[in-house]
Amino acid sequence: MQSRINVAILGASGYTGAELLRLLAGHPHVNIAALTGDTQAGKPIEAVYPHLFGSQLPALVRHQEVDFTGIDLVFACLPHGETQAVIAELPQHLKIIDLSADFRLFDPALYETWYGHAHQAMHLQGEAVYGLTEHARAQVQKARLIANPGCYPTSALLPLLPLLKTRHILPEGIIIDSKSGITGAGRSAKQANLFAEIDGGLSAYGVASHRHAPEIEQSLGWAAGQDVRVSFTPHLIPMNRGILSTIYCMLSPAHSAADARHVLEQTYKHERFVDILPEGIMPSTHQVRGTNRCVINLVADRTRGRLIIISAIDNLVKGAAGQAVQNMNVMYHWPEDTALMHTAMFP
Amino acid sequence: MQSRINVAILGASGYTGAELLRLLAGHPHVNIAALTGDTQAGKPIEAVYPHLFGSQLPALVRHQEVDFTGIDLVFACLPHGETQAVIAELPQHLKIIDLSADFRLFDPALYETWYGHAHQAMHLQGEAVYGLTEHARAQVQKARLIANPGCYPTSALLPLLPLLKTRHILPEGIIIDSKSGITGAGRSAKQANLFAEIDGGLSAYGVASHRHAPEIEQSLGWAAGQDVRVSFTPHLIPMNRGILSTIYCMLSPAHSAADARHVLEQTYKHERFVDILPEGIMPSTHQVRGTNRCVINLVADRTRGRLIIISAIDNLVKGAAGQAVQNMNVMYHWPEDTALMHTAMFP
Amino acid sequence: MQSRINVAILGASGYTGAELLRLLAGHPHVNIAALTGDTQAGKPIEAVYPHLFGSQLPALVRHQEVDFTGIDLVFACLPHGETQAVIAELPQHLKIIDLSADFRLFDPALYETWYGHAHQAMHLQGEAVYGLTEHARAQVQKARLIANPGCYPTSALLPLLPLLKTRHILPEGIIIDSKSGITGAGRSAKQANLFAEIDGGLSAYGVASHRHAPEIEQSLGWAAGQDVRVSFTPHLIPMNRGILSTIYCMLSPAHSAADARHVLEQTYKHERFVDILPEGIMPSTHQVRGTNRCVINLVADRTRGRLIIISAIDNLVKGAAGQAVQNMNVMYHWPEDTALMHTAMFP
Amino acid sequence: MQSRINVAILGASGYTGAELLRLLAGHPHVNIAALTGDTQAGKPIEAVYPHLFGSQLPALVRHQEVDFTGIDLVFACLPHGETQAVIAELPQHLKIIDLSADFRLFDPALYETWYGHAHQAMHLQGEAVYGLTEHARAQVQKARLIANPGCYPTSALLPLLPLLKTRHILPEGIIIDSKSGITGAGRSAKQANLFAEIDGGLSAYGVASHRHAPEIEQSLGWAAGQDVRVSFTPHLIPMNRGILSTIYCMLSPAHSAADARHVLEQTYKHERFVDILPEGIMPSTHQVRGTNRCVINLVADRTRGRLIIISAIDNLVKGAAGQAVQNMNVMYHWPEDTALMHTAMFP
| Whether residue D198 sits in one domain with residue D255 | yes
D175: nearest CB among C175, C179, C199: C175
CB B240 to CB D200 under 8 A? yes
Shared domain for B306 and B254, answered yes or no, is: yes
- At residue C232, the pLDDT reads 98
- Residue D115 in domain: yes
Helix axes A151-165, A212-224, angle to 10 degrees: 20
- pTM, entire model: 0.97
Statement: residue C90 has pLDDT above 60: yes
Window 80-109 of C: residues touching D by CB (8 A cutoff) are: none
Is the minimum CB–CB distance between B27 and chain C shorter than 8 Å? no
Residues B119 and B191 in one domain: no
Q: Using the 8-state DSSP alphabet, how is residue B251 labeled?
A: B
Q: What is the SS3 assignment for B78-135?
A: CCCCCHHHHHHCCCCCCEEEECCCCCCCCCHHHHHHHHCCCCCCHHHHCCEEECCHHH
**From CA C268, how far away is CA C139, in angstroms rounded?**
18
Averaged pLDDT for residues C331-335: 98
Which pLDDT tens digit goes with each residue over C112-164?
A: 999 999 999 999 999 999 999 999 999 999 999 999 999 999 999 999 999 99
Chosen for mutation from A235, A281, A298 (greatest number of chain B CBs closer than 10 Å) is: A235
Residues D100, D194: one domain?
Answer: no
Residue B1: count of CB within 10 angstroms of its CB: 4
> What's the pLDDT score for residue C2?
61
- Is residue D131 in a domain? no
Can you say how many angstroms the Cα of residue D209 is from the centroid of all Cα atoms in its chain?
A: 19
Give which of D80, D88, D155, D71 is closest to D123, Cα–Cα.
D88
Task: Determine the straight-line distance between the first and last CA of chain C, rounded to whole angstroms.
Answer: 35
* D298, containing H or E segment: strand D294-300
Which residue of chain A has the CA closest to B283?
Answer: A203
* pLDDT tens by residue, B19-63: 999 999 999 999 999 999 989 999 999 999 999 999 999 999 999
Say how many C-beta atoms besides its own lie within 10 A of residue B127's C-beta.
11
CA neighbours closer than 13 Å in the CB half-sphere of residue D12: 34
Query: Is the sign of the CA dihedral C4, C9, C12, C17 positive or negative?
Result: negative
Whether residues A22 and D54 touch (CB distance < 8 A) is answered with no
| Counts of helices then strands in chain C (DSSP H, E) | 11, 14
Instruction: Give all chains having 3 or more CB-to-CB distances under 8 Å with chain B.
Output: A, C, D
Cβ-Cβ pairs closer than 8 A, A with C, add up to 60
* CA–CA min distance C41, chain A (Å): 17
Query: Is D194–B197 a contact, with Cβ atoms under 8 angstroms apart?
Result: no
Asked if residue D179 is part of any domain, the answer here is: yes
Contact D204 C312 (CB under 8 A): no
pLDDT at B234 over 70: yes
Q: Is C199 on the interface with A (CB under 8 A)?
A: yes
CA B225 to chain CA centroid, nearest Å: 23
Residue A2 has pLDDT above 90, yes or no: no
CB D297 within 8 A of CB A50: no
On average, the pLDDT of chain C sits at 97
Chain A residue with minimum CA distance to C186:
A196
Print the domain residue range for D202: 152-315
Q: What is the ipTM of this complex?
A: 0.97
Q: Do residues B159 and B295 share a domain?
A: yes
If asked whether residues C191 and C79 sit together in one domain, one would say no
C193 touches chain B (CB under 8 A): no
Instruction: Tell me how far apart the alpha carbons of residues B18 and B9 are, in angstroms, rounded to a whole number.
Output: 10
Last residue in a domain, options C110, C126, C142 = C126
Output the average pLDDT for chain B: 97
Instruction: Please confirm, yes or no, whether D77 is among the known catalytic residues.
Output: no
Nearest CA in chain C to A196: C240
| pLDDT of amino acid B38 | 87
In terms of Cβ atoms closer than 10 Å to its own Cβ (0-12, 13-18, 19+), residue C113 is: exposed
Average pLDDT, chain A: 97
Burial class (CB in 10 A: 0-12, 13-18, 19+), C263: buried
Q: What confidence category does residue B206 fall into, taking pLDDT thresholds of 50, 70 and 90?
A: very high
- For residue A237, the number of C-alpha atoms closer than 13 Å in the C-beta half-sphere is 30
Q: Evaluate whether residue B97 is within a structural domain.
A: yes
Measure in Å the smallest separation between the Cα of C139 and chain B Cα atoms: 29
Tens of each residue's pLDDT in chain D, 347 residues:
468 999 999 999 999 999 999 999 999 999 999 999 989 999 999 999 999 999 999 999 999 999 999 999 999 999 999 999 999 999 999 999 999 999 999 999 999 999 999 999 999 999 999 999 999 999 999 999 999 999 999 999 999 999 999 999 999 999 999 999 999 999 999 999 999 999 999 999 999 999 999 999 999 999 999 999 999 999 999 999 999 999 999 999 999 999 999 999 999 999 999 999 999 899 999 999 999 999 999 999 999 999 999 999 999 999 999 999 999 999 999 999 999 999 999 99
The CATH number linked to B100 is: 3.40.50.720
**Residue of C189, C193, C196 lying closest to A183 (CB–CB):** C196
Q: Please, which residues bridge with residue C202 across strands? A: none
- Burial class of D256 by CB neighbour count within 10 A (0 to 12, 13 to 18, 19+): middle
pLDDT at A28: 97
**Is residue D311 helix, strand or coil?**
strand
Nearest-CB residue to D199 (from B187, B188, B195): B195
What value does the mean pLDDT take over residues A83-90?
96
Single-letter amino acid, residue A103: F
- What are the start-end ranges of the H helices in chain B? 15-24, 45-48, 83-88, 108-115, 122-125, 133-142, 151-165, 195-198, 212-224, 257-268, 322-331
User: A235 and B302: CB-CB below 8 Å?
Assistant: no
Whether residues B53 and C341 touch (CB distance < 8 A) is answered with: no
Q: Residues A252, A301: one domain?
A: yes
Give the whole-angstrom CA distance, residue D229 versus residue A194: 42
CB-based contact B286 C50, cutoff 8 Å? yes
| Contact with chain D for residue B197, Cβ under 8 A | yes
Smallest Cβ–Cβ distance between B51 and the set C46, C51, C286 belongs to: C286
Contact residues on chain A for C17, CB-CB shorter than 8 A = none
Sheet with A175-180: strands ordered across: A203-204, A231-236, A175-180, A243-250, A306-313, A294-300, A274-276
What is the C-alpha separation between A82 and A34, in angstroms, rounded?
19
D146 lies in some domain:
no
> B138 lies in a domain?
no
pLDDT in tens, A97-149: 999 999 999 999 999 999 999 999 999 999 999 999 999 999 999 999 999 99
Cβ atoms of B105 and B130 within 8 Å: the answer is no
Measured in degrees and rounded to the nearest 5, phi and psi for residue A115 equal: -110, -5
Best CA proximity match to A200, nearest among B245, C319, B205, C195: C195
From the list A49, A281, A347, which residue is nearest D240 (CB)?
Answer: A347
Asked if B51 lies within 8 A of C344 by C-beta distance, the reply is yes
- Whether residue A289 sits in one domain with residue A180: yes
Which positions ≥6 away from A129 have C-beta within 8 Å? Answer: A136, A139, A140, A143, A145, A146, A147
Do the beta carbons of residue A21 and residue A9 sit within 8 Å? yes
Whether the pLDDT of residue C27 is over 70: the answer is: yes
Per-residue model confidence (pLDDT) at position A340: 98
Q: Which active-site residues of C does the annotation give?
A: 151
C240 and D312 within 8 Å at the Cβ level: the answer is: no
Determine the residue type at B327. Answer: N
Same domain, D85 and D169: no
Nearest to D325 by CA among D89, D146, D127, D81: D146
Residues in D touching B188 (Cβ below 8 Å): 191
pLDDT given at position B2: 61
Instruction: Give yes or no: residues C116 and C253 share one domain.
Output: no
Question: At D265, phi and psi to the nearest 5?
Answer: -60, -40
- Inspect the interface and report whether the beta carbons of C240 and B286 lie closer than 8 Å: no
Burial of D226 per CB tally in 10 Å (0-12, 13-18, 19+): exposed
> Could you tell me the strand order of the sheet in which B30-36 lies?
B60-61, B30-36, B5-10, B73-76, B95-98, B145-147, B128-130
CATH number at residue D158: 3.30.360.10
A242 and A294 housed in the same domain: yes
CB contact under 8 A, D183 and B196: yes
- Among A238, A241, A284, beta carbon nearest to B239: A238
Cβ-based burial of A45 (10 A; exposed 0-12, middle 13-18, buried ≥19):
buried
Residue type, A112: E
* Whether C241 and D200 lie within 8 Å, measured CB to CB: yes
pLDDT digits (tens, 9 = 90+) for C151-204: 999 999 999 999 999 999 999 999 999 999 999 999 999 999 999 999 999 999
pLDDT above 70 covers a percentage of chain C that reads 99
- How high is the pLDDT of residue C223? 97
Residue A295's H or E segment, with its range, is: strand A294-300
Q: Which residues of C touch B199 (CB under 8 A)?
A: 200
Q: Cβ of B213 under 8 Å from any chain A Cβ?
A: yes
What integer pLDDT is reported at residue C38 of this predicted model?
A: 87
CA distance A46 to chain C (A): 14
User: Which D residues, 279 through 298, put their C-beta within 8 Å of a C-beta on chain A?
Assistant: 281, 284, 286-290, 295
D247, D100: one domain: no
Query: Does residue B242 sit at the A interface (CB-CB below 8 Å)?
Result: yes
Give the span between the Cα atoms of D163 and A263, in whole angstroms.
Answer: 64
Give the residue on A whose Cα is nearest the Cα of B178: A177
Which pairing describes strands A95-98 and A145-147: parallel, antiparallel, or unpaired?
Answer: parallel
Closest residue, chain C, to B22 (C-alpha): C343
Give the closest-approach CA distance of B193 to chain A in angstroms. Answer: 13
CB contact under 8 A, D194 and B195: yes
Domain boundary among D126, D141, D161: D126
Assess B277–A contact: CB distance below 8 Å, yes or no: no
**Within a domain: D93:** yes
Starting at the edge strand found earlier in the chain, the sheet holding D145-147 runs D60-61, D30-36, D5-10, D73-76, D95-98, D145-147, D128-130
* pLDDT at C78 (0 to 100): 96
A193 contact D CB<8A? no
Judge contact between D222 and D160, C-beta under 8 A.
no
State the total domains in chain D. 2
The verdict on C193 touching D (C-beta cutoff 8 Å) is: no
Whether residues C238 and A199 touch (CB distance < 8 A) is answered with yes
A320 found inside a domain: no
